[in-house]
Structures are given as C-alpha cells and as structure tokens.
Amino acid sequence: MSLLSTNISSVFLKSCFYNASGCLCVTKEDILKVYNSDSGAVISKSCTFSPREGNPKPRYFENKYGSINSMGMPNKGYRFYTYMSNYLLELGDSKPCIISVSGLDFDELLTMLSYIDNMVKRPEQLVEVNLSCPNIPGEAQVSYNFKKMDNCLKQIFSNKYKKIKIGLKLSPYFDPSHILEVSNIFKKYPLHFLTCINSLGNGMIINPETDKASIVPKKGLGGIGGLYCKPIALSNVFQFYKHLGDKLTIIGCGGVQSGQDVYEHILCGASAVQIGTQLVREGPRCFTRIEQELKEILIKKNIKSIKELCGSIHKL
C-alpha cells in the first residue's frame, strides 16, 4: 500500500484523487486523457438514458476564484459509458472507472442501473447516482426534496445488484439539521459512498469584459465551482463523516487546486477527492503536481497513509 492509496468502499485506488464528473469525461478521448494520467480513478460524465447535447453556449466561464457552468448534462448516453468501463478494463490497468448516472427520471434510472449491473465486466463497479444537477432548466435538484430522494432510494434498492456499488453525488447543504435529516435517510439503504459536493447552484458571475452574465443558459445562472465553494465542501464532508463515516466512504469535491486542499478534505473525512475546475484549467498534469504536493505535506507531518489522516480533525 502506497502513501496515497485508498479505497472507495472495497474498491482500491492507487491514488486518492481523480476527476469530478463533468470534467474531461464526456468523450472517449477525454476519458483516456484522465485514465493515462496520475489520477487514481476516472469517472464518466453523468449520463442519461438518451444522449444529450446540453445547453446552448457559452455555458462555462472561469476566473481566478473559480468557475460557473450550466452545461445541461451533455453526454453520450449510458450504454457508451458502460462500454468505456469495459474498454478501460481490457487495457490491463487496475485503475477504477466509475460510471456517473443521472437521476432525472426514476424509471430510466432503474433501467440504466440494471443494464450496467448486467453488462459491466468488472466484479465491482462503482456507480455514482447524481441527484444534484442544478443546471437543467425546469428541473429541481432531487437531493433538496427529501421525500422524493427517499422514495428514489427505495426504488433503487428494491432491486438486487450483483456487481454495482451505488453511491450518491449530493447538492451542497447549508444547515446542519438538513444534513442530519438526509443522513438518517441514507442509513436506511446499503449505499457505499457519498460525493460532497456538486457545484453551488444558481450563482451568477459577470463577465467584466462585457458587463453581461458570463454564460447564456438560464439567463446567466449556473453552478459555481472552484475556490468559491471550498468552505462549503469541507463543511459537508466534515458533517457527513461525523454522521456516516463508519458506514460508507465520503468523497470530497470542491475548491481543490493544490495538495493542501486535498489534505484538508481528507482531514475532514474524505477518503478520496475529486478535482473539477482546476482540471479544466490546467489539464491532467494537475494530478502529477497535486500528488507531489500532497506527498510532501504527509511526509513533513509524518503521516503514513491516507487512512491515518482521514477524519482525524474529529479526534482533535
């Protein structure tokens, strides 16, 4: 076991960070760029039953503090990403490929999960169910409707799965009582992991060159990523680890630009960390840089493993 190795549920990762869904993961070429980098895994774009073109452009904008996007979930459909998981397995590397699926339609979601479970060749296939996309016009985020989310999970786990290990990608929560309430819902189901957080929904960034909203969809409203959302991401990781860290794996996501950022996510309770805005900005070489920075921090602090660091802020 190396210094940076970790597990998501029982699935082993050589390194504790990888791309966030939506970043370099739509096409085969994108996925191979992440797969051939120093990432510990690769995750697909959140896929839907049928391929989607997404929202009109421009739909992404960034500045030094972070990013805004309203992509509208462009993807090639669930069958393509199931194929990609099998294709990467055939390359002979043990790097996990995680399939992200959208929860926009419950019946289609159940069909996608059953198909993936039957068609994947991996003995353990991680599937991240995205209940938190803020960028589909006219669609509310399922993870803010607790009754609907509970019903969705009940339908998902009414089926038995042979290979897939299901986790959730969550919206940011801002009140501890909400995190406690959804944690109690999650305790009822055999979930394997939670990803905290998706982007901060329905923010706005003005383009200083034009004095207009920086993106077109939803009249300029979109999901906020990057450093803007790091404190909220750390808070969610910290609180979900407190309530559920003994039951499932917490994955941190939000504001990761450096090894120090990864360190803080793990300190709060993340076993693995996703990188989004910085990956789009810097490309896959960011994994190599961040890996070296994180190693230097761990060695300096005489920390022997990610498992030793994970959640240690709770013990202080």
For Cα atoms 221, 51, 25, give the angle at the middle one, nearest 5 degrees.
70
Work out the end-to-end distance of the chain between its first and last CA atoms, rounded to an integer number of angstroms.
26
Residues 24, 34 contacting (CB under 8 angstroms): yes
| Number of helical H runs and strand E runs in the chain | 10, 16
Tokens of 18: 């990888």
d(CA 177, CA 191): 21
d(CA 286, CA 278): 7
Give the up-direction half-sphere exposure of residue 101: CA atoms within 13 A in the CB hemisphere: 31
To which H or E segment does residue 88 belong? helix 78-90
Q: Is 133 a catalytic residue?
A: yes
Tokens of 44: 């697909």
d(CA 192, CA 78): 21
User: Among 24, 229, 301, 62, which residue's Cα sits nearest to residue 293?
Assistant: 301
CA 67 to chain centre: 16
d(CA 124, CA 98): 10
d(CA 81, CA 69): 22
For Cα atoms 41, 43, 45, give the angle at the middle one, nearest 5 degrees.
165
* Catalytic residue from among 47, 133, 268, 310: 133
Which residues are known catalytic residues? 133
